[in-house]
């Protein structure tokens, strides 16, 4: 029995000594070092400007049912994009001109090899594009050539004009610049692209927004072939984009939010190193929604807008 006690004491001392030795080792070595943090990749595009500041000319009109209302606004409607309403070149004054009052519906989108929606006039099987479907139309999207003439011209008794800033922000770690009415203030807070709420002719009766207006954005850029310059518009209603006076994106007609994508390398008439104008013509013609989004890798340059009369009888 006594031998047994001595054995227990020996075991107890052994355990104690082992604990002390372990603690000493821990104090000597300290906690295991943590793995070094992986450095964040450098922004390869940090040399580019953070923002591109452009000017947008807004021309306010009244809906068709209002006194002095415009016949093309708050009247027509459609589901599909209606291309072919405009001529494919700007007129002598640098304004779009009517080709057809009816146009052609894009019933199924034309796609490039990566699945981006493209302008059917740029369809190229050699690039791997996928053909869509078009349908002829016999219903008007524009009342007359004369009614369209005032969309993008200051016209006494028809429209009122205001110039607003349009700022595209570079996306982190990217060469893409974006203006998006869904995320940029004050438009996010307004619920859409409503640049003249409570201004000019005022809001449409019974609504909290001024829905009936056009937008004209003029800019220039340096073309660099083979560098992946692209331009994409998403929105409603009508949108037409012209480069060097030629139509390159056609999202005409009244429709829900739609998009179209352009690779500038497809424009074979552009010369490398040349400086060219790019113009966006947009129209918000109907109630409920107003969306406006530009995404581009082009370093667009602001052009001073022409003086606006901004008058109405």
Pick from 173, 105, 101, 102: nearest CA to 138: 102
Average pLDDT for residues 3-9, to the nearest whole number? 39
Expressed in angstroms, the distance from the first to the final Cα of the chain is 120
The answer to whether residue 40 scores a pLDDT higher than 80 is no
Question: If DSSP states are collapsed to H, E and C, what string results for 132-185?
Answer: CEEEECCCCCCCCHHHHHCCCCCCCCCCEEEEEEEEEEECCCCCCEEEECCCCC
The answer to whether residue 208 scores a pLDDT higher than 70 is yes
Tens digits of residue pLDDT in 82-115: 999 999 999 999 999 999 999 999 999 999 999 9
- Ramachandran quadrant class, 244 (left: phi over 0; alpha: psi -120 to 50; beta: rest): left
* 225 within 8 A of 263, measured Cβ to Cβ: no
CA distance 147 to 210: 20
- Band (pLDDT 50/70/90 cuts) for residue 267 is very high
Measured CA distances, 133 to 104, 119, 154, 250 (Å): 10, 12, 37, 15
* 254 within 8 A of 141, measured Cβ to Cβ: yes
Q: Say whether 184 sits in a helix, a strand or coil.
A: coil
Tens digits of residue pLDDT in 11-33: 343 434 344 444 444 444 555 56
Pick from 218, 226, 263, 224: nearest CA to 244: 218
CA distance 215 to 232: 16
Average pLDDT for residues 211-237, to the nearest whole number? 97
Average pLDDT for residues 44-62, to the nearest whole number? 96
The answer to whether residue 10 scores a pLDDT higher than 70 is no
Average pLDDT for residues 167-171, to the nearest whole number? 98
Beta strands in 24-145 (DSSP E): 51-60, 81-83, 104-108, 110-111, 117-118, 133-136
- Band (pLDDT 50/70/90 cuts) for residue 36 is low
Count of residues making up the chain: 313
Please name every residue paired with 215 in a beta bridge, in sequence order, or none if there are none.
58, 282
Pick from 170, 274, 211, 266: nearest CA to 73: 211
The answer to whether residue 214 scores a pLDDT higher than 80 is yes
- Return the higher-pLDDT residue of 27 and 224: 224
Average pLDDT for residues 156-175, to the nearest whole number? 96
* Helix (H) and strand (E) counts in the chain: 3, 16
pLDDT value, residue 137: 97
pLDDT value, residue 311: 56
Per-residue DSSP letter, 266: G
Q: With 0-12 CB in 10 A as exposed, 13-18 as middle and 19+ as buried, what is 9? A: exposed
């Amino acid at each position: 029995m006594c031998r047994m006690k001595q054995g227990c004491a020996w075991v107890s001392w052994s355990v104690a000594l082992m604990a002390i030795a372990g603690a000493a080792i821990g104090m000597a070595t300290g906690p295991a070092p943590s793995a070094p943090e992986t450095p964040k990749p450098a922004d390869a595009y940090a040399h580019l400007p953070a923002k591109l500041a452009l000017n947008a000319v807004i021309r306010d009109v009244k809906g068709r049912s209002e006194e002095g209302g415009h016949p093309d606004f708050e009247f027509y409607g459609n589901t599909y994009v209606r291309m072919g309403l405009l001529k494919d070149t700007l007129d002598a004054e640098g304004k779009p001109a009517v080709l057809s009052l009816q146009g052609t519906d894009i019933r199924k989108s034309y796609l490039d090899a990566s699945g981006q929606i493209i302008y059917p006039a740029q369809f190229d099987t050699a690039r791997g594009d996928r053909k869509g479907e078009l349908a002829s139309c016999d219903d008007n999207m524009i009342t007359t050539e004369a009614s369209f003439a005032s969309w993008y011209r200051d016209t006494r008794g028809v429209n009122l004009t205001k110039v607003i800033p349009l700022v595209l922000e570079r996306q982190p770690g990217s060469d893409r610049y974006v203006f998006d009415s869904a995320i940029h203030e004050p438009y996010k807070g307004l619920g859409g692209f409503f640049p003249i709420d409570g201004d000019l002719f005022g809001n449409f009766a019974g609504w909290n927004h001024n829905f009936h207006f056009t937008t004209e954005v003029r800019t220039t850029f340096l073309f660099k072939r083979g560098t992946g310059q692209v331009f994409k518009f998403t929105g409603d209603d009508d949108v037409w984009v012209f480069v060097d006076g030629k139509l390159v994106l056609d999202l005409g007609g009244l429709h829900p939010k739609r998009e179209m994508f352009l690779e500038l390398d497809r424009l074979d008439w552009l010369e490398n190193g040349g400086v060219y104008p790019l113009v966006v013509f947009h129209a918000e013609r109907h109630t409920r929604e107003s969306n406006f989004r530009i995404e581009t890798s082009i370093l667009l340059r602001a052009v001073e807008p022409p003086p606006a009369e901004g008058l109405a009888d």
